[in-house]
Structures are given as C-alpha cells and as structure tokens.
Amino acid sequence: MGNVTVTAPAKAILVGEHFVVAGCPAIALALDIRAKATAELLNEDVIEIVSKEFGIRRYGGKETRVEDPLYPVYLVVKEVLKLAGSNQGLKVVIESNIPPAAGLGSSAAVAVATASAVAKLLGLNASLEEITRTAYTGEVEIHKKPSGIDNTVSAYGGAIYFSIGKGFERLDVNFSQVRLVLADSGIQRSTGTLVARVLALKSKHSSVLDQVYAAATVLVENTRDALEREDFTAVGELMNINHGLLSAIGVSNAKLEELIYTARQAGALGAKITGAGGGGMILALCWREDAEQIAMELSKASTKVLMTSVSEKGVTLESG
Ligand code: MEV
C-alpha cells in the first residue's frame, strides 16, 4: 500500500467552553482550516513522526513519557496500532494550517487526521467513533483533562452539541448568511493550565460559580434553539453573554477584551473568547457582507486575522 493522506478541520467553540469540562453542554463548529497527516509503511521497526515545525522524531515503541510536541502524535499512532493488533513500523508526516495554542483545536485536528491515516494505512476499517477515541489519547497527553469536544467536532465536522458522558448531536444549521472572523491576541497559553485554574476557582467559590455554570447550561440550550431557527442575531447576543460568563471565571484579559470590543464596534453580531482563553484567538460572528470590514478593523489590533466558514466536512480521506 502507498501513502495515505487524510485531513481534519480546526474548530471554534461557539458557546460553552470551560463549562463543558464540568459536564455542561457546549456547541462547537468545524472550520474551513485543516491539518493534514500522510502515513506510510516503513520496513524498520520504528514510528517516525515528521513535522515542518518540530522536525523529525523516531520512536522505538517502548518510550516512557517525553516532553516533546510530537510525542502525543506518537501516542495516537500507538493506539491505532493496538486497535489493529499490529507492530508495523510507519512514518507520519504532519502539515497544519491551524495556528497552534490559539483555541482552534490544532492538536485535535492533527490527532484525528493521524488516527484516520494510520488506520486506513493498516487496512483497519475504523469507525468515526474509534477515530475520535484514539485521537483523544493524544489530547489527554497535551491538555490533561480535555472534555473531548475538540477531537469530536474535528472528526465529524459541521456544528455539534456536545456534553461529556452524553455524547453529541450534529446540528442541522445553514450558516451561509454568516461568516466567522478570528483574531489572534498573540498570547500563547496552555489549555491544561487554564482548565485547572478555572476548576480551582469553581471549587473555591462554588456557591457563586455553580450559578454561573447553571446559566451557561441554559445559554447553550438557548443558543441551540436560536441556531435551529437560524436566528443569528440571537446567537450573537448569546455569544456576548457567554463571553461575560467566561470573564467571570477569569479567562479574559485586556488584549482579548480589546479585540472583542473592536469586533463588536465594527458590527459583529457577537464576539467572545473561543477555547480556553487567557490568550489565543477571539471569535466574531458576522453577517457575510460585514465580515471583510470587521476583519479590517480587527487587523489594526491583531497580527493575525482569519475569515472562515463552518466546514461540513469532518475527517476526510484525500488520497490513498
Ligand atoms: C476546548 O477547546 C476548550 C476547553 O473547554 C477545554 C475542553 O473542553 O477540553 C477550555
């Protein structure tokens, strides 16, 4: 068998990040920005991971945990090999257009694309559920206590309503009237650290924050209803309220607020942190015809602005 190439999308959380870690629902969207994994058989007994950004790593299969950005990808490969009952040596080349550590699920997209490419290379007829589950192994290594929403939306695509333990539903929404504009704060951060900090604040001030979490749950349900009615004005308002709740749990900062208010003043329907916060990107929901102007205003305050749409396509076999 020759090479197998698979791509998987980035994601943005529309509403419910952080609250989802404690069991509340959240809604995530797959984006038109993708990561690519190409898998190839090797005659040697090694697993080789290659990335333009991080170089080449070769693993012999018995490594204990190492501090290395490619190690989680290796863990995903090992998990797929386990599923296939194989010790085959192989090489995976990663290429990604998704900004890392920015809240867009770049690690999940790489993990999903890798799991799917390796499964296909090994002739394993893996279900999307198995791809999602194997990719989650890499996510746990990187983020410590991830909800699993990132790898799920990257595998399935579209808009998903997700909660831990209850699984997810794909929402049937036509997003053609709107565009998503993302602007980078330029501040890199660790999702694992932010999640731990939020959970510590929640247990310290539980009598207050339990009510914020309850409000977040209602907010996600109302956003789901608004999406299903294609009432994007209400979706934008709920995103703004969600941002207020995220500020309450301590994951905003001055730069993120500057970008969010820039987007709102330029006419966005709603703007908020997306993902773990503390840095990374903000997400603005815009009418299609307003998106360019909003992106232009944001580019005065941000070094990287992306205009994107919801991708119906989840993990996709490109060749092989
Ligand atoms: C996910 O992109 C962001 C958080 O909700 C963590 C998680 O769900 O694993 C903060």
Residue 78 sits in a domain whose CATH number is 3.30.230.10
Percentage of residues in the chain having pLDDT higher than 90: 92
Residue 253 sits in a domain whose CATH number is 3.30.70.890
Same domain, 20 and 164: yes
pLDDT at 29: 98
Same domain, 139 and 271: no
Same domain, 163 and 43: yes
140 Cα to the center of ligand 1, angstroms: 11
Whose alpha carbon is nearest atom 2 of ligand 1? 275
Look at residue 141 and tell me whether its pLDDT is greater than 90.
no
Query: How far from chain centre, in Å, is Cα 11?
Result: 4
Same domain, 158 and 93: yes
Cβ–Cβ < 8 Å for 105, 89? no
**In sequence order, what DSSP letters do the residues of 85-151 get, joined into one string?**
T----EEEEEEE-SPTTSSS-HHHHHHHHHHHHHHHHTT----HHHHHHHHHHHHHHHHSS--SHHH
Indicate which atom in ligand 1 lies nearest the CA of residue 194: 10
**Number of domains observed in the structure of the chain:** 2
Kindly give the pairing relationship between strand 47-51 and strand 90-96.
parallel
Cβ–Cβ < 8 Å for 279, 189? yes
285/265 Cα distance (integer angstroms): 13
305/143 Cα distance (integer angstroms): 25
Same domain, 147 and 227: no
21 Cα to the center of ligand 1, angstroms: 7
Same domain, 56 and 106: yes
pLDDT mean over 130-140: 95
37 Cα to the center of ligand 1, angstroms: 23
Q: Left if phi > 0, otherwise alpha if psi is -120 to 50, otherwise beta: which for 123?
A: left
Same domain, 202 and 76: no
194 Cα to the center of ligand 1, angstroms: 9
Indicate which atom in ligand 1 lies nearest the CA of residue 277: 10
Q: Which domain holds residue 142?
A: 3-172+313-319
Same domain, 132 and 228: no
Whose alpha carbon is nearest atom 1 of ligand 1? 275
Confidence grade of residue 142 (pLDDT, cut at 50, 70, 90): confident
Look at residue 239 and tell me whether its pLDDT is greater than 70.
yes
The structure's pTM equals 0.96
Look at residue 23 and tell me whether its pLDDT is greater than 70.
yes
Q: Which residues line ligand 1 (CB under 6 A)?
A: 13, 17-18, 20-21, 105, 143, 146-147, 149-150, 191, 195, 275-276
Same domain, 57 and 198: no
Cβ–Cβ < 8 Å for 190, 102? no
Q: What is the pLDDT of residues 172-226, one digit of tens each?
A: 999 999 999 999 999 989 999 999 999 999 999 999 999 999 999 999 999 999 9
Same domain, 32 and 124: yes
- By annotation, the residues acting in catalysis are 150
Indicate which atom in ligand 1 lies nearest the CA of residue 13: 2
Indicate which atom in ligand 1 lies nearest the CA of residue 149: 8
Same domain, 230 and 127: no
224 Cα to the center of ligand 1, angstroms: 18
For residue 226, the SS3 value is helix
Same domain, 140 and 219: no
